[in-house]
Amino acid sequence: MFRDQPSRPDASACNRRSFLGGVGTVALAGALGTHHSPARAQTDYPNRPIKLVVGFSAGGSTDIIARTAAAKLSEILGQQIYIENRPGASNNLATAAVARAPKDGYTLMIGSLSNAINESLFTDLTFNFAKDFAPVAPLAVTDNVLVVHPSLDVKSVSDLIALAKSRPGEILYGTSGKGTAPHLAAELFNLHAGTKLAPVHYRGGAEPIRDVLSGEIKVMFSTFPPVLGFIADGKLRGIATTGPIRAEALPNLPTVAESGLPGFDMRLWFGLVVPAGTPQDIIDRLAKATRAATESADLKAGLARQGYSALSGTPDDFGALINAEIAKWAKVVPAIGSLSN
């Protein structure tokens, strides 16, 4: 089972139950297989640098997770792990490329919530995430935070709802791409609140943060790392977080659910995947190293400083989570008609 690794032990049980309650002993685990066709064992793996592909631009949440984890994994595996950013098409460009990569363990990818969403959102994908990738291990989990530019006369969720209803379609929010977590969070907000916040899509996470800082757009759901400093400095105003309980990184902010939209719950997860057919001994080596990394004190502390909790588990655990999330959003996406905007 997963071991969710928040920075404060007294919150771990609550966080673990909240995020993994929908996974449990998911019968879907077999759909995203962890068994692969026989291949020649590579007992000397890894014997050269490893590429870790990130489907978003540098500076965004997925990139931060990748670079934080890669440093520790390089230390454990004894090989350089370098990051290749391939942003575009809501992570689909990178995912398609990695699906075609050699099945030798030298091309890894950060799998995330966006991959689960995309399976239902897009009808023209050249890959099937559940079939074309093998799970290695989870890395981290976090909430989003709803932020607004200080010039917007909004200090609470109820303020934003009232303003958005008075100006339907006029209040712009930024996303890191169609179907990404910030997009999904905002559209879930629209669904729950009956509002019509309008999306402005970018090719990564850094660009919308730049524009909400300048006031060009006024609203964004963001992961914690890129915005915590700006919230502390008063350059952005934090309104609420998206998880089931208050976030350790922003304990003074209420959740969206407790701010008048009960049932609103969305957390972001990240982990390592490889092309399906990668030899099992390589997957096992990577999984063992990743688990050692996520259970190490320095990686847990590094993630916690940026608003993440380390998430530790086996390939089967991660496969169950991925399949549960694909099934979950397959039911949610059709209910959010504007998600295709």
**Cα–Cα distance for residue pair 117/95, rounded to 1 Å:** 13
| pLDDT score at 33 | 46
What's the count of helices (H) and strands (E) in the chain, helices before strands? Answer: 12, 11
Residues 274 and 318 in one domain: yes
Which residue, chain included where needed, has tokens 């530790």? Answer: 312
What CATH number is associated with residue 247? 3.40.190.10
pLDDT band at 48 (very low <50, low <70, confident <90, very high): very high
Cα distances from 269 to residues 52, 96, 113, in angstroms, run 17, 20, 6
Residues 217 and 316 in one domain: no
pLDDT band at 2 (very low <50, low <70, confident <90, very high): low
> Alpha helices of the chain — where are they, by DSSP H?
12-20, 61-77, 92-99, 113-121, 129-132, 157-166, 181-193, 206-214, 228-233, 280-294, 297-305, 315-332
Residues 297 and 210 in one domain: no
pLDDT band at 332 (very low <50, low <70, confident <90, very high): confident
330 in helix, strand or coil? helix
Residues 42 and 157 in one domain: no
Number of domains in the chain: 2
Nearest to 111 by CA among 143, 138, 80: 138
Residues 216 and 227 in one domain: yes
User: Residue 309 phi/psi, 5° resolution?
Assistant: -110, 130
CB atoms inside a 10 Å sphere around CB 20 = 22
Task: Write out pLDDT tens, residues 108-161.
Answer: 999 999 999 999 989 899 999 999 999 999 999 999 999 999 999 999 999 999
Task: Write out pLDDT tens, residues 280-315.
Answer: 999 999 999 999 999 999 999 999 888 889 999 999
Q: Under a CB-based contact definition with an 8 Å cutoff, are residues 92 and 55 in contact?
A: yes
| pLDDT score at 338 | 59
**Residue 222, beta-bridge partner list:** 145
**Cα–Cα distance for residue pair 278/285, rounded to 1 Å:** 12
Is residue 79's pLDDT more than 90?
Answer: yes
Residues 7 and 132 in one domain: yes
With pLDDT > 70 as the criterion, what percentage of the chain qualifies?
Answer: 86
pLDDT band at 18 (very low <50, low <70, confident <90, very high): very low
Look at 9 and 78; give whichever has higher pLDDT: 78
Residues 197 and 298 in one domain: no
The domain in which residue 148 lies consists of: 143-259
pLDDT band at 339 (very low <50, low <70, confident <90, very high): low
Mean pLDDT over each residue of the chain, to the nearest integer? 87
